[in-house]
Structure 1
Amino acid sequence: MFYVVTGGSGSGKSAYAEELIIRSGSGPRIYIATMYPYDEESHKRIARHRQMRAKKEFETVECYTDLASAQIPEGANVLLECMSNLTANELFRPEGARKDVSLSIMKGIRHLLDSCKNLIVVTNEIFSDGIRYDDETRNYQRILGDINVWMASISDHVTEIVYGIPLIFK
């Protein structure tokens, strides 16, 4: 099964996605972490999240770019968090895809779907704040939006979390 979970910052989407993985049955639980550790605070946040996930029997795989190269055990239950970070890394990091971001990420999602039992992708709803951003940020939003639309079109389930409440769209 392929699930897409979206929502705003602090909405509860991560907890919801983790619970989906826990209830998904047998097989290894893999957490693909996409947040690049760029400072002391991010290193502390990553360590805290690893600790929290360890209690839930997740194995963490760091993957900042090139999702198609991620080594995932056959039949695993995979939680990718989050598409927003992965998209930014592919667009802005020197080792990222830079120009073919959507194609690179779509190839990576297909790779995961071919090898895992269940895939849950967490993404952010960053499109409705009403702020007019610079061209570079709008380009990032457009790419992330295209990826989100594509994922929703091929997924089995799409859920938006609003104030901790799941709104099921598909």
Structure 2
Amino acid sequence: MIYLVLGGARSGKSSYAESLAKRLSDKVVYMATASAEDPEMRARIALHQSERPEHWGLIEEKFFLSRELERIVVNSETNQTASGSVILIDCLTLWLSNWLCLSESDSADFDSWSAEKNSFIEQLKKTTCPIILVSNEVGSGIVPMGELSRQFVDQAGWLNQAIAAVAEEVVLVVAGLPITLKGYSRNLSKETVKDSGRQAC
């Protein structure tokens, strides 16, 4: 089952996603897209790390989520230790930012970004284990002044729409409160995951 958790900054979306992962399985593979490039971001990452269980698996990947997702699934099929896992990816908007800021020029490489985004979505469709995706809802604010900032808002909106289209459940978190936009609002369990047709990895 694919879960998309949306929310603004400090909305509680990451905490909700982590709580959901804990309810779904004892085994969680956490894919982080952030990079510690300044003191504030290092502190933010450290806070997230301190709040996660130590036994969770960790993969840090800034760009090629499709490749890492495929690798996790292949490992789960051949490695019994890795089976039964839930995949938690936090977050998609940082992943987008990494791609838009990759180019040293003023123009982002949208062709490469689009290719990776499409590859990732296709891999999501093939994956049989539960996947929780965290992303920022950035379309509710004012239109940014800068060109790259406007491109980011546009691309983030299109990315969220594409993921929401393939997700079985979409939740918007506001002020720590989850609002179900798609799917069912209920306490999820391992049995629920099995009934959905997506067996844990």
- How does the TM-score come out when normalised to structure 1? 0.87
- 1:59 deviation in Å? 1.2
**Structure 2: distance between partners of 1:23 and 1:113:** 22
Partner of residue 102 from structure 2, selected from 93, 101, 121: 93
* Structure 1 segments (4+ residues) deviating >3 Å: 112-116
CA RMSD of aligned residues (A): 2.1
Deviates more, 1:8-17 or 1:126-135: 126-135
Map of 2:44 onto structure 1: 45
Residues 29, 56 of structure 2: 8 Å contact kept: yes
1:128 corresponds to which letter in structure 2?
Answer: S
Mapping of 1:9-158 within 5 angstroms? 9-25=9-25, 28-55=27-54, 57-70=55-68, 71-72=71-72, 73-74=75-76, 75=83, 76-94=85-103, 98-100=109-111, 101-115=113-127, 117-158=129-170
**Structure 1: distance between partners of 2:167 and 2:15:** 20
**Structure 2: distance between partners of 1:116 and 1:64:** 23
Aligned residue pairs total 167
- How does the TM-score come out when normalised to structure 2? 0.75
Residues 116 and 46 of structure 1, relative CA distance in 2, 3 Å threshold: farther
**Structure 2: distance between partners of 1:9 and 1:102:** 25
**Equivalent pairs: percent with the same residue?**
31
Residues 143, 150 of structure 2: 8 Å contact kept: no
Structure 1 unaligned residues grouped into runs of 5+: none
Residues 102, 147 of structure 1: 8 Å contact kept: no
SS in structure 2 of the partner of residue 54 of structure 1? coil
- 1:129 deviation in Å? 1.5
- 1:58 deviation in Å? 1.6
SS in structure 2 of the partner of residue 49 of structure 1? helix
Structure 2 unaligned residues grouped into runs of 5+: 77-82, 183-201
Residues 106, 147 of structure 1: 8 Å contact kept: no
Residues 126, 141 of structure 1: 8 Å contact kept: yes
- 1:112 deviation in Å? 4.7
